[in-house]
Structure 1
Amino acid sequence: MRYQITAFILFAAIAGSRALPAQQGKSSDVGIAQTPPMGWNSWDSYGLTINEAQFRSNVQVQTAKLKPFGWNYSIIDEGWFLRNPQDRPHPELLQFELDAFGRYIPVPARFPSALDAQGRNEGFAAMGRWVHAQGLKFGIHIVRGIPRESVRQNLPVEGSAFHAIDVADQTDACPWDPTNWGVKDNAAGQAWYDSLLHQYAAWGVDFLKVDCIADHPYRISEIRQIQLAIEHSGRPILLSLSPGPTDLSHAAEIGSLAQMWRISNDIWDVWKSDRPFPRTVDSQFALAAAWAPYAQPGNWPDADMLPFGELRPKPDVGPGPRKTRLTIDEQQTMLTLWAMARSPLMLGANLTMLDAETLQLVTNRDVLQIDQKALASREILQEGDMVAWTADLGNREHVLAIFNRGDVPLHVTKDLASFGLVVRTWKARDVWQRKTVTPIHSVDQMIAPHGCVLLMLQP
């Protein structure tokens, strides 16, 4: 969710490895998210307004141009149940599509395939089948809780003797979303989430993004209920928690329940800013370094979406429809940092307007390999505006990323041993220049402002 939160938390960098223990009975056992998830999410370009025609058009481009490179999740973000999303600034005017059990269902005027031949709303079942037929995985966004309208009508909870009034914690509300009440930590609350996940499993949902739950506030009781409901559903569904900043003290707990969790508030196409919202690319360096030791199969600290390409027609933050404000150097730096930290990669571009520069950026096989396969990724050195990371790729292959966070060009001259790479001479491939360079024992590079150098090294 992309609404301004004025409070923020600054995490201190963590030294050494603090990998989470392997989670028993969770994602590591069923094969979910064994590598950082990659996909496309509708939020950065469509906000609350995505409709079926727009979604299908983007997925068709994703299938043709991105799926071969591993971008395999297709996600409808928030607002698919709103009849009048344009009235979001006026909550009292909002109208929702609900089923007989008080659950949100897609609005047929926006998602016509929700209606079957008899005119019954079958939700996203047809959409899920269509996405799967493209060889992709289907995801949706929800805000935690139970609809206030369901509570007002006191609708029954499917598969139980409970009603909405038994579920709702009316002392708890998401501070930036007026649509739901929180859910009580009781049998009625569990029955509610069981009902939701039964519905989503029937729709073929593979990825569930749950908002207003990882921070401001951290709702561990509802995280547990949702994770248990996923188990009860019988379908392996990836659980992604939002927004951040998730506190590092919650790492082990949240990692035992979810496969992805946000490490920061929402990030947009801004390099640096004095404002606390939105997060900027430059502000992610410290958080990425702090969370990198926790990345492992089934557990992926999430640095948030990639606001690349055309962000239109309805980006939720910033000066209206636009091409990303990040320069190509800044985009390369962002994707490199995300890859070195092994963050999930979720692209926000309008894919129907995908330009050659953005396509080349997000289909660089070397940088994607780093994101998917790197081991022991870590920040190794900071000197002024220079930040360096290293990682291992196995078979004695290593990765070195050197970033220039400054506003002027930076000349870096250092022996590779300064970065912990002690072999005398290395064969090197420049990932962003897409070329092999002369065997090297040192770095002598002029790095553009906000730019980076990314080298794959073999002895």
Structure 2
Amino acid sequence: MRNLSQSIALLCLLISVTHGQSRVAPTPPMGWNSWDAYGPTVTEAEVKANADYMSRHLASFGWKYIVVDIQWYEPNAQKHGYRANAELITDGYGRLLPAPNRFPSSANGRGFKPLADYVHSKGLKFGIHIMRGIPRQAVRTNLPVFGSSLRAKDIADEQNICPWNTDMYSVRADTPGGQAYYNSIVKMYAAWGVDYIKADDMAAFNGKPADASRLAEIAALSRAITNSGRPMVLSLSPGPASIDQAEFLKTHSQLWRISDDFWDRWQDLKKQFEYTRRWAGREGTNSYPDADMLALGRIGIRAERGDDRQTRFTREEQVTLMTLWSIFRSPLMFGGDLPSNDAFTLSLLTNREVLEVDQHSKNNRELFVRGNIVAWTADAGRGRDKYLAVFNIGDDPDPAPVKVSLAEIGLKGSCRVRDLWQNEDLSVIQLELQTTVPRHGAKLFTLSP
């Protein structure tokens, strides 16, 4: 009877955890990631400063994740590229630990728990970046695998490596030892209080779809999160992910990148129209194609690419970025240094009506492309209202005239129009909407029949 009771309790716990994982991201996650501003070099003080800012200025608008990006375990990480074969901080089982010189609260084996506790005390959630596989130095010294009788050399695939970083070897994830390794690192992250994992060198490589070994490691990491007993968002990078693998990605993660790294260049933003068109309609509760981070505000402070600067996007292009991400329902991960925000940047992140489109709209789709004019539409979260986004991706300096008939978006008769960026009611229209859109700019409306 005792064994039966224990089995039932274990089954109930597993069902509870699995259910929690299936609802860990009911809307596209919104947060901050250290990559665009600090590359691999961010420090504990900088993470706390961004958490403080988010708590004060953004949390009430739905922003909640604070994510430490790559190489938090590298004591001598540098801007403008990775140090080849760098010595990393690990425990005796080859599990990466925060570098204490950059994250002082992690000393004496405390890991990220003190920093996660600090972020949680602000009413926010804490995330980390990880690389696929096991540290190469753990394989060189053949450390034991926690929870297994195997050692690092037994589970590593030394021929399968990341094409752009020398820290890790692939793990043979379809073996018991490989799964044990992923279980061991995620169990440690759960003990730290991690809420979000960004897993890199997973969703694609060298512009090609994830191969069999990457798919196996995605599945192993997903199982490890479920086994850990702590719901965590799983975000997969880099892109572009393959649309042919969409169902697999939806099953095993909450976010997956649809493009390569996105930076503050118009050509990058223009290219996103192709990616979002391809992935339109693939989002769902707990699963979102990810158009990558918001390269806005002050970036490049100690980044892997570029130098300290304000985003090179014009104000019109910044509105286009936020409008496209929102009408597509991409996750929103801000990349700039939050304490450096000016009033305009803050206004982009705190427009409740625009954020509502990202968080709760439905049936999001591209409506048409007419020359340099692109239009998207979506249904409002409730009622019969429709959202309409119009973009001018042309280079002519003069604003472009735009006409959209109500019939094109499934409406007829008359409609009330509201400009969401201006938070302003406009006129009642009959049959069609007419407006002008500046070069590289966008407008976003609600149409209410």
Give the TM-score, by structure 1 length.
Answer: 0.90
Aligned to 1:223: 218
Aligned to 2:10: none
- How far 1:27 sits from its partner (Å)? 6.7
Is 1:67 the counterpart of 2:62? The answer is: no
Aligned to 2:103: 111
Whole-angstrom CA distance in 2 between matches of 1:139 and 1:25: 19
Deviations 1:89-109 (A, max 9, x none): 574462211111111100111
* From 425, 433, 444, the counterpart of 1:443: 433
Q: How is 1:404-419 mapped onto 2 (pairs within 5 angstroms)?
A: 404-408=392-396, 409-417=398-406, 419=408
Q: Which amino acid letter does the alignment assign opposite residue 240 of structure 1?
A: S
Q: Which amino acid letter does the alignment assign opposite residue 138 of structure 1?
A: F
Whole-angstrom CA distance in 1 between matches of 2:21 and 2:99: 36
- How far 1:161 sits from its partner (Å)? 1.0
- How far 1:414 sits from its partner (Å)? 2.3
Whole-angstrom CA distance in 1 between matches of 2:20 and 2:378: 22
Aligned to 1:121: 109
CA 1:72–1:370: 2 relative to 1, 3 Å? same
Whole-angstrom CA distance in 1 between matches of 2:400 and 2:140: 64
Of the structure 1 ranges 413-422 and 345-354, higher mean CA displacement relative to structure 2 is found in: 413-422
Is 1:43 the counterpart of 2:35? The answer is: yes
Structure 1 residues not aligned, in runs of 5+: 1-23, 273-279
Asked if the contact 1:27–1:259 (Cα under 8 Å) also holds between the matched residues in 2, the reply is no
CA 1:271–1:293: 2 relative to 1, 3 Å? same
Is 1:242 the counterpart of 2:234? The answer is: no
Is 1:345 the counterpart of 2:332? The answer is: yes
- How far 1:292 sits from its partner (Å)? 1.8
**Number of equivalences:** 424
Q: Which amino acid letter does the alignment assign opposite residue 377 of structure 1?
A: N
SS at structure 2 position matched to 1:446: strand
Superposed CA RMSD in Å reads 1.6
Aligned to 1:375: 362
Aligned to 1:57: 49
Q: Which amino acid letter does the alignment assign opposite residue 320 of structure 2?
A: T
Q: Which amino acid letter does the alignment assign opposite residue 47 of structure 2?
A: F
- How far 1:415 sits from its partner (Å)? 4.6
Whole-angstrom CA distance in 2 between matches of 1:406 and 1:414: 16
Asked if the contact 1:41–1:347 (Cα under 8 Å) also holds between the matched residues in 2, the reply is yes
Q: Which amino acid letter does the alignment assign opposite residue 312 of structure 2?
A: R
Q: How is 1:253-272 mapped onto 2 (pairs within 5 angstroms)?
A: 253-272=248-267
Is 1:331 the counterpart of 2:326? The answer is: no
Q: Which amino acid letter does the alignment assign opposite residue 438 of structure 1?
A: S
Deviations 1:122-169 (A, max 9, x none): 100111111111111100001110000000111111122111111101
Whole-angstrom CA distance in 2 between matches of 1:50 and 1:75: 11
Deviations 1:374-407 (A, max 9, x none): 0000001110000101100121111000110101
- How far 1:413 sits from its partner (Å)? 4.2
Aligned to 2:195: 206
CA 1:113–1:25: 2 relative to 1, 3 Å? closer
Deviations 1:143-200 (A, max 9, x none): 1100000001111111221111111011100111111000012111001001000100
Give the TM-score, by structure 2 length.
Answer: 0.92
Asked if the contact 1:390–1:419 (Cα under 8 Å) also holds between the matched residues in 2, the reply is no
Q: Which amino acid letter does the alignment assign opposite residue 344 of structure 2?
A: E
Aligned to 2:71: 79
Identity %, equivalent residues: 42
Q: Which amino acid letter does the alignment assign opposite residue 342 of structure 1?
A: R
- How far 1:310 sits from its partner (Å)? 0.7
SS at structure 1 position matched to 2:270: coil
CA 1:27–1:242: 2 relative to 1, 3 Å? farther
Asked if the contact 2:280–2:328 (Cα under 8 Å) also holds between the matched residues in 1, the reply is yes
Asked if the contact 2:80–2:304 (Cα under 8 Å) also holds between the matched residues in 1, the reply is no
Moved over 6 A (4+): none
